[in-house]
Structure 1
Amino acid sequence: MKIPEYVGPCAFGIKTGVVLPGCDLKSMILKETKRINKDGLLDTGDALCVTESIVARAQENYITTDEVAKEIRAKLNLKPDSKLGILFPILSRNRFSLILKGLAKAVPRGEIILQLSHPNDEVGNQLIPPEVSEKISNNGRDIIKPEDLEKEYTHPITNINYMQYYNDIIEKEGAKSTLIISNEPINILEYNPDGVLCADIHTRDKNQAKLSPKVKTCTLQGLFNDSNRKAWSEWGLLGSNMSSENELKLAPYKSDEFACDLQKEIYGTTGKQIEIIISGDGAYKDPSSGIYELADPQPAFGTTPGLRNLMREGVKYKFLIDLYHKQGKSEEEILKLIEKESQAKKGTNDQIETEGTTPRKIEDILASLADLVSGSADAGTPLILIKSI
């Protein structure tokens, strides 16, 4: 089946067999691309997105909560009775609950000081209603404790009280739980922690810089990022997911290398030069829930060189159609002029015809599209073929 010329950019979810830990993933993907090519759907210039989850699974990139405990103790020089501060974790059973379990195991006779932001975490999960947050701020209260709130609040979608949920995880491991709500990072220092883990994702470096002159700190990226280990990632614990009751799956390691090797093998087999993306969460905000989906450090964990630092290019069709129509151009003339304009603007920074078209990295757009087609739809298609990129 050949895609008709009148079809623009489009994406297809590709079903594969079950990807198990330790499997030969490249051979599995190569088998699928041969089939895609045989059916006339593969062309030079296409992009193939591979979800990071199956790459990490094939790499057997797993760690346990006991290993998390050992890692944080070594990184921050903690003892079983130390005080560990945890700053701005996101509210997520899948993403953070097991990490928290491992952190609490590190100080079973000590204390966890857990500081949450309000009204939401950094990706939009609501801790308390915005009107409650505003009232607190207007009253000049910089630090709030759960008992200071008028009532208990649950997440509007999951219906979970994350303050209680995280508190229970900590206390189950024997540690004392001290939970505070504040948007000012340095407030955690009032509780005299022996070390602080900056558990935020996109603001981690900024907040670590604020705290590191006063206390020993590290970020989630600073844990399990040693390539000498069996299980590791350049992103550390960022991008990790719950795998079982006591096991986490890290983000894949050496994703760029995997993408480049796969590109070469596909070219050698099919003769088609395509781009490869190892994709994670899409970078978009859900308009109904207000949740920003990007719980991974970035949408693409790895890409082939043809996509790196490449920005979306193009012209503003609506602007040019109206402009040329007012000049009395015919439909045929407008189409030719837009095509000519599009070719002329490639690689330039002329903003007149592209006004309103927000510059974005191509890899982010493609990875976000792949997540919408595969991950967010839970379609069982860990490969996404994108055409006419």
Structure 2
Amino acid sequence: MEDNAGNSIRQTPKHIETGNYSSTKYVLVQMTGIPDYVGPCAFGIEMGVLLPGCDLQSQVIEALEEVVEDGFLTDGDTICLTESVVARSQNNYVTKAEIAQEIREGCTLTPEQTIGVVFPITSRNRFVPILAGISRAVPDGKVIVQLQYPTDEVGNRTLPPEVAAELEAETDDHITTDDLDRRYPHPITEIDYIQLYRETIAEEGAEPTIFLSNDPERILEYQPDAVIVSNVHEREKTREAVAAYHDNVLTLQELANDETNDAWSEWGLLGSNMSSGEKIKLAPRRADQFAVELQERIDDEFDKQVHVIINGDGAYKDPSSGIYELADPCAVFGATPDLEDTLRGGVKYKFLVDKYHEEEKSREEISEILAAEAEEHHVESSIESEGTTPRQLQNIIASLADLLTGSADAGTPLVLVKGITGSSND
């Protein structure tokens, strides 16, 4: 059907019918997908249960069929798919035993030797399974864990700031568990990570030692036979500091990254997560390739030219807790080339409204000027762009998608993002 202006119209889809619409009424829906008065937006798309080894691309196409039928998928949209379901479809799992074996062989360790673990994040699902695998490599030896304070790399608190400051002065930045007058559980999860890590090591037969210091070279005071650098974003800086005095140092990225194995990732154990039993789910491998193949499949099936992102954690810092969400090594594990090195800038809308209002321009005149300015390319230092810090577009979109799906897992690993790339309503 068409209206008098030639725009396509259709009946209200059943899934958006409300008490305001009877079954005999219609609504106008521009086939651009969203009304002109709606700005950038994102929608979680349900996909049902996704099993290991599934044909994920076919299931994405199946989920998008209804989206297309409703006229809701348009050229220029971005399809985001969470990294966890991509890795699951690849059967990208390793076991703790496999990690232990790789560490023993890669570091040439015997069961009674000592492993140092530097700057792991404090996380049950992210690091406890890895720590179990590390500890299993030396079941008759020792595992020394060095934590940062007052928070780990991503903002999880290890000590209250005031306690940390006092102990740092008293201990010269080498805080042992004997220096702690009591336990200091995480303020949100209420988990005592020092105790949890100690128990994890002991369960594998090794002798645990936990201490806190922000100097990575402190681990060398314990004379470890090998050191596993375990932080995420500053791993190379940490490795450089330790490797200057020790020749047996690995990062988590160098474990489980052998592509001759059935399960592997170029990110190694970075971005990995707990699974059931003995298994650890790795980050997806070759996510860029998956994104391109999915983009081509969507074009073939629906004749829609979209962007595709395989997203990890959003790059978001909670202002209340101070926790930085990005425990993954990156917000984007894979993306189609059309988003590569693209910055999202823009004009400083609020500033320009005030500027032109002071010049006594009318509301209509200001609207026309702003519309024209938005079409212009402004260098980052221009007055029009002042205050609009350019950011990588793919990181913004990935963070938005993760906020929708998030740690609570809303059952919508597929996210449709509209309007951010500037094409959906053109």
TM-score (structure 1 length as normaliser): 0.97
Choose which of 265, 290, 311 in structure 2 pairs with 1:233.
265
1:79 maps to 110
**Cα drift, residue 139 of structure 1:** 3.0
**1:130 maps to which residue?**
161
Q: Which amino acid aligns with 1:24?
A: D
Measure, in 1, the Cα distance between the counterparts of 2:393 and 2:102: 36
Q: Root-mean-square deviation (CA), in Å?
A: 1.2
Q: CA separation in 1, counterparts of 2:226 and 2:375?
A: 55
The letter for the 1-side match of 2:339 is L
**Is 1:211 matched with 2:211?**
no
More displaced, 95-104 or 148-157?
Answer: 148-157
Change (3 A) 1:133 1:24: same
Q: Which among 389, 406, 422 is matched to residue 375 of structure 1?
A: 406
Alignment partners' CA distance in 1, 2:406 and 2:218: 37
The counterpart of 2:228, out of the listed 192, 197, 220, is 197
For the residue of structure 2 that corresponds to 1:290, the secondary structure is coil
The offset of 1:271, in angstroms, is 1.0
Q: Which deviations, in whole Å up to 9, do the C-alpha atoms of 1:201-227 show, x marking residues without a partner? A: 011010101111221111111111111
1:294 aligns with 2:326: yes
2:307 to 263, 266, 275: 275
C-alpha distance in 2, partners of 1:349/1:127?
39
Q: Which residue of 1 aligns with 2:371?
A: 339
Which 4+ stretches in 1 moved above 6 angstroms?
none
1:71-125 superposed Cα distances (whole Å, 9 cap, x missing partner): 1112222111111000000110000000000000000111111100111111111
Give the counterpart letter for 2:198 in structure 1.
N
Q: 2:178 aligns with which of 147, 150, 169?
A: 147
The partner residue of 2:50 within 19, 25, 28 is: 19
Following the alignment from structure 1 to structure 2, what is the Cα–Cα distance between the partners of residues 19 and 349? 43
1:164 CA displacement: 0.8
Of 340, 356, 363, the residue aligned with 1:324 is: 356
> Which position in structure 2 is the counterpart of 1:93?
124
Counterpart of 1:94 in 2: which secondary structure? coil
**Distance (whole Å) between structure 2 residues aligned to residue 264 and residue 245 of structure 1:** 37
Q: Which runs of 5+ in 1 are unaligned?
A: none
Percent of aligned pairs with the same amino acid: 53
CA offset at residue 35 of structure 1? 1.9
The 5-angstrom pairing of residues 19-168 of structure 1 reads 19-139=50-170, 141-168=172-199
Please state how far the C-alpha of 1:245 moved relative to its aligned partner. Answer: 2.8
Structure 2 portions without partners, runs of 5+: 1-28, 421-426
CA distance in 2 between counterparts of 1:224 and 1:248 reads 11
- Considering only CA atoms, is the larger Rg found in Structure 1 or Structure 2? 2
Determine the C-alpha separation between the residues in 2 that align with 1:245 and 1:183: 33
Q: In the alignment, is residue 365 of structure 1 matched against residue 407 of structure 2?
A: no
Contact 1:105–1:173, Cα closer than 8 Å, also in 2: yes
Please report how far the alpha carbon of residue 376 of structure 1 lies from its aligned counterpart in structure 2 after TM superposition: 4.0
Cα distance between partner residues in 2 of 1:56 and 1:38: 29
1:132-185 superposed Cα distances (whole Å, 9 cap, x missing partner): 011122335221101111211111111111101100110111111111110000
User: Does the alignment pair 1:258 with 2:290?
Assistant: yes
Q: What is the rounded CA distance, in whole Å, between the counterparts of 1:171 and 1:334 in structure 2?
A: 68
TM-score by length of 2: 0.89
Q: For this pair of structures, how many residues does the alignment match?
A: 388
Q: 1:377 to 1:328 in 2, by over 3 A?
A: farther
2:346 aligns with 314
- Equivalent residue letter for 1:112: V
Q: CA deviation at 1:286?
A: 1.2
Q: Is the 8 A contact 1:198 1:220 kept in 2?
A: yes
